[in-house]
Each structure stands twice: as C-alpha cells, then as structure tokens.
Structure 1
Amino acid sequence: MRAAGVTEFGGPEALHIVEVPEEHAGPGQVRLRVSAATVNPTDTYLVLGVYADRDPVKNPPWVPGMDVAGVVDEVGEGVEHVVVGDAVMGVVVPSGAHGGYRESLVLPGDSVVHAPKNATDVEAATLPMNALTARFSLDLMGLRPGQVLAVTGAAGAYGGYVVQLAKADGLTVVADASQADEQLVRDLGADVVVRRGDDVAARIRERFPDGVDGLADGAVQDALVLPAVRDGGAVATVRGYRGDGQRDLRVFPTLVRKVAQDRAALDRLRQQAEDGVVTLRVNRALPAEEAAEAHRLLAGGGIRGRLVLTF
C-alpha cells in the first residue's frame, strides 16, 4: 500500500512514496480509503525529525499527516455511527508509518465522523485537526459571551477557525493581519483588525487599554503577545509554550491529541461547516507523489488555505 513518507529525516526533499503494510479495522476502529490528506506545519516538523524522540516507533518509514477524508471500507465491532461506504473525515495522531499521507488508514472510531454534506473530500480534509485544535483552545480558555478574544495568525487555518468559532460563541474578536490579509480576516468575522508583527500586543492594547480577556496565539509569538492580555486572563498556545509565570495569566498549551477521540466535538464542527459557521479553505490540491512540492510551498510562507494531497 502506498504512502508519502520519509525513510531518513530531512527537508521536503526527504519525502517520497513508500510502501507500508495493509491494516485492518479491529474492535472500535474504522478503516478509511483515504482520498485526501491535508498538509500542516506540524507535518514539516515530523519530516525534520523534531518528534523522533517521542515517537514510540523507531524504524522507518515515518508518515506525516494529521487529518484525512475518504470513504469507510471496514468497520470494527462496536462502531455504529458510520458504515461501509460513508464519506467521512478523521483526525490522526501520527506514529511511525501511521500518518495521514497514506491511501488506507485505520483510526479509532471516535476519531472519524461523517464529512460535511456537499463538501468534496479535499475540502473535508481541511477541517478536523485545525478546527478541533481551535475548538479545544476556546474550551480551555472558557471565555464568556461578550468577553474579548485576541487572535494572532488569524489568516492561517488554526487562527481562522478560532475567529469563526469565537464569533459563534458570542465573543468579541480582535485579530491580526497583514495589509494583504486584512479583508480576509474581516470576512472571517473579526470585529477589530490590527496590523500583525512583533508589536502586535501594543496595537491590541491601543484598542483595548485594559487588555483582552483571552488570546489564541496562532502566530506562535509566545512571550511577545502576553502584554496584550489583562491580569488573570487566558492564553492558548499551539507549540507547548507555558508562559512566563507572571501576572497570574492562565496559559493553556493546546495539544490536539488530547481530544483526537472527541467524536461529539468533531461532529459539531461537521455541523457548523454545513451551517456555514466555519469555512473550508483550500489553497491547492496536489497528488501524493508531489508531497515534497507541497512541503516546499508551505515552507515558502504566505499560503492561505490548506494544501491537500490526493490519492
């Protein structure tokens, strides 16, 4: 069975088509015939070997990919919410050769839900990981309707979903953007847009002098953005940053693997995509054989919408 992966860690050029063993669905599991797998920044770290020490699988190949869409072709005992032939999407916690960039994949049943109606497989693949991470960030911060949330990296996939989900939760959203992305971020629903950059915290404070109630740091600016948040406020991070221990800020590293089997949350996102609450944004679809090119494009920066590999 084909997959796009690496046998030696490196840059995009390390990615190539590899053969991996076929798997079958056991109890509580679902097997997908994968037709689309989204390319995310986390995938590039896996290819570089950043996560090698924590991966229990030490032998190649290693296959990236954290979200997929396709068709169910095997259902294990105890799984009743999907049947063979259903169009579905799923979130993946990669380990060894078990990543999303493969043409067949076994997942826990609770990591798989129906794809949004009227969405293509390429579109559906862009939803699970980034939107579930955004949802988890908001749940961890626990802001109430009417409170103010700042979002950095708002034009990206995670940041864009945070903006849209926060608005659906009744929050006021201040988001950053470059001049080129300002209209996009406004269209996503931001109430206030400030220019992105290392001084974004000062720009947010100009608009909200007392500080915002919470901040989702999709731009991974870590300590630079903490001054935007009021004393005792909440911060959600996506690369494990835990704050500087000052001003009683509540800092929540958001690790999507902790909610990878939250089927109810994933299915709610499916419904919100159908209702138009969240937008499925595709930049470009490339065949799996061009995984290296997809990683090169992502590394070049400025990608708006997701790159998706197809099988």
Structure 2
Amino acid sequence: MRAVVFREFGSDELVGVADVPTPEPGEQEVRIRVAAATVNRTDINARAGLYGLPIPDSPGYGLGMDVSGEIDAIGAGVDRLSVGDRVVGFCMAPQQRGGQAAFVVLPVEAVAPAPRGTDLVQAATLPLNGLTSLQVLAAVQPASGGTVVVTGAAGGLGMMVVQLAHNAGHRVVAWVRSKDDAAFLTSLGADQVVTEVGELTERSADAVIDTAMLGQETVRLIRDGGAFITVRGIEPELERGIRQVTVWVQNDEEQLAELVSAVESGAVTLPGVTTMPLEEVASAHRVFEAGGVRDRLVLIP
C-alpha cells in the first residue's frame, strides 16, 4: 500500500510516499481503509527530529495522528465495530504506523464511530485536537466557572479548546494575531478576543492554555496558584504558586466518544478543510509551516 514515510530527520524534502506492506489486524484491532488524514504540528515536529526518536530504519516512520475512513477488516475479539462502519481514529504516530496511508490498523479502543451527518474528510480533524483539548482542560481549576486564556485561539487546537472550555462553563479569552478572527471566535464561545497582553488584567486568569508558545509574557495574567498549561514543552519562569502542566496527549476511548457526541449535538463545530493528495505531503508541510491558514490541511489517499 502507499503510505507517508520519512527515513531521515530534517526538512520537508525528506518526507514522501512509499510502498509499504499492508497491515493486518490482530486481536482487538481493526483495519481502516483511510478516507482522510489530517496534517498536524506533531507531523512537522516528528519529521524535524524534535521528539528524540532514534534514526528510523526501513521502512521508516509513518505520520498522521488523525484518521477517518471505513473499517475493512477486524481482528479476533472485536465486537462493537463491524466491517463497513464509518469511523474516526487516533494514531500514536510516528512510534506506530500513522494514518497518512491507504490503510491503518488501530486498537479498537482508539476508534469511534464517525459523527453522524459529518463528512469523513472533516471528521478526520477531530481526534487529536479534541483529545488534546479535553486533557488540557482537565488541568484547569476550578473545573467550571473559571477564566481561561487561550493563545493561538484561531488555530486548529486553539479553536477546539475555546469551544470545549466554553462548554465546560468557563469564561474564555481568545488571544489571536488579528482582530479579523474576533467574530469567528465569538461564534465558537469566546467571551473576549485580544491581540496583545496589554488588553488583559494581570492575575485575572485561572489558567493560560498556551497553544501558541508565547510563554513568559503570559505568566503575568495568571492568578496566584493558577496554571500555565502547554502541549509544547516550553518552561517559563513561574512564581506565586503557579503550576506548570505539560500535556502529552494520550488515547482515551471515553473522551473520543464524548467528542463524537459533541459534534453530533452541535456543541462542537469542526474547522473547514483544504484537501491535498497524499503524494503532496511535502507541499502540505510547507503550507502548514508557513502559517496563516485557518482551514485544516487534510491528505486524501
């Protein structure tokens, strides 16, 4: 089958598509015929060698933590999913074979029925950012009724955090590069949209969720004993009892089902998408790294 791979760490020129063996599902696993796989920051970081992984051997590392498609084979012991089911899945790439391929095999607990009424291409944007957002928000105290500042709020992860924080009952401050995003973010549940730290009161937030890696300049906004939350591993200097929480996303079967239900009910709006053929993965990396694109980039095998 055709799959995205890279065999060296470095620039986007090192990622491409190759023929690799088609995987077979084992016990409690399903094989998905991939309809779409989203390009994420994690793909860029993995290719650049930022995760401390060993040099890949043949056939190289795969990419793609988000996937949607139809189940075309099931392993022994699978009873809640069937061949032909439309599903979304979460892939632990690049440590395991990623979703940017013609087929991917996943453990059944990493797969959920795709949201009803949602196109499979758009559904592929849900798993990674949705799971990350729920796990980030679990670190916010209080769990409801607090004030949460979300940096990079117009990005794929940021817009998901905004919605889920709003749904949890928080007051949400969306920090973006341009006020052009204000109407969009307000429609998702943001209570305030800002473009610079001077627009906010110091020590007014229970938590900063720093998806944009602004780091130190956000700390003044956090109340004593509040939380600085990141998914990128940066470490600003903290004081006044402020906690740092670094979230490394993990699969969670119950959370994935919760996210699907939120999309079906209209509580979560998925982003727009721009599709590209699987073979154009290097170009997709360049577009992603250039920034400024609200749509999610989705590869089609």
TM over 0.5: yes
Partner of 2:142: 143
TM-score, normalization by structure 2: 0.94
TM-score, normalization by structure 1: 0.91
Provide Cα deviations, 1:229-287, integer angstroms capped at 9, x if missing partner: 0010022201123443422112210111xx31x11100100000111111111230111
Q: Helix, strand or coil for the counterpart of 2:62? A: coil
Aligned residue type for 2:69: G
Partner of 1:48: 48
Q: 1:304 to 1:11 in 2, by over 3 A?
A: same
Q: 1:289 to 1:57 in 2, by over 3 A?
A: closer
Counterpart mapping for 1:101-250 below 5 A: 101-177=100-176, 178-196=178-196, 200=197, 202-205=198-201, 209-250=202-243
Query: How far off is 1:79 after superposition?
Result: 2.4
Aligned residue type for 2:226: G
Unaligned runs of 5+ in 2: none
Unaligned runs of 5+ in 1: none
What is the CA–CA distance in structure 1 between the aligned matches of 2:108 and 2:66, rounded to whole Å?
A: 14
Partner of 2:22: 22
Is 1:83 the counterpart of 2:79? The answer is: no
Aligned residue type for 2:81: V
What is the CA–CA distance in structure 1 between the aligned matches of 2:281 and 2:203, rounded to whole Å?
A: 46
Provide Cα deviations, 1:46-92, integer angstroms capped at 9, x if missing partner: 122223x3359544422211100001112222322211110000111
Provide Cα deviations, 1:82-111, integer angstroms capped at 9, x if missing partner: 111100001111135711211111111111
Q: Percent identity over the alignment? A: 40
What is the CA–CA distance in structure 2 between the aligned matches of 1:245 and 1:59, rounded to whole Å?
A: 43
What is the CA–CA distance in structure 2 between the aligned matches of 1:22 and 1:39, rounded to whole Å?
A: 21
Provide Cα deviations, 1:139-159, integer angstroms capped at 9, x if missing partner: 122433221111101001111
What is the CA–CA distance in structure 2 between the aligned matches of 1:236 and 1:80, rounded to whole Å?
A: 38
Provide Cα deviations, 1:156-193, integer angstroms capped at 9, x if missing partner: 11111111001111111111121222222212110011
Choose 239-248 or 214-223, whichever is displaced more: 239-248
RMSD: 1.7
Partner of 1:270: 260
Q: 1:170 to 1:55 in 2, by over 3 A?
A: farther
Task: Give the count of matched residue pairs.
Answer: 300
